[in-house]
Structure 1
Amino acid sequence: MLGTLKITQENTKKTWKNVPMQDFTQNSDIDWNQTISEIDRQLYKKYGLNETEIEFIEEKVTAMD
């Protein structure tokens, strides 16, 4: 999401406009105590990603161990 507005080295507040804020508190709509894959599924659902978008992410984004 950052890359949609970041076209130069400059990193102003405006370049972060499309990056969603997440609530990491107990009041969050995401259960952060789940496994990474379960959290991913919660986020996919939250942002309404379709199967093609999910497959793209799963294929292109490398898991961090």
Structure 2
Amino acid sequence: MTQDNPKGVWQEVPIQDFTQNSDIDWSQSIHDIDQQLYKKYGLTDDEINFIETKVQAMD
């Protein structure tokens, strides 16, 4: 549940630029976008593995 989280909880969530000026190429496949985001935010192999094994893909 997230509806009752205080504002401070969200201050660490990065704002993404979805325009043509973005450093992420949003026209790529979801897998490729994920790879770009992992690199952008410096995720470790363990963090990437956690995401890819525990977070269910949204279709």
TM-score by length of 2: 0.87
Q: Report the equivalent of 1:50.
A: 44
| Identity between Structure 1 and Structure 2 (%) | 67
1:17 is paired with a residue whose SS is helix
Total equivalences in the alignment: 58
Q: Report the equivalent of 1:33.
A: 27
Unaligned runs of 5+ in 2: none
Output the CA distance in 1 between the equivalents of 2:4 and 2:26.
32
Q: Report the equivalent of 1:3.
A: none
TM-score by length of 1: 0.80
Letter paired with 1:24: F
CA RMSD of aligned residues (A): 1.5
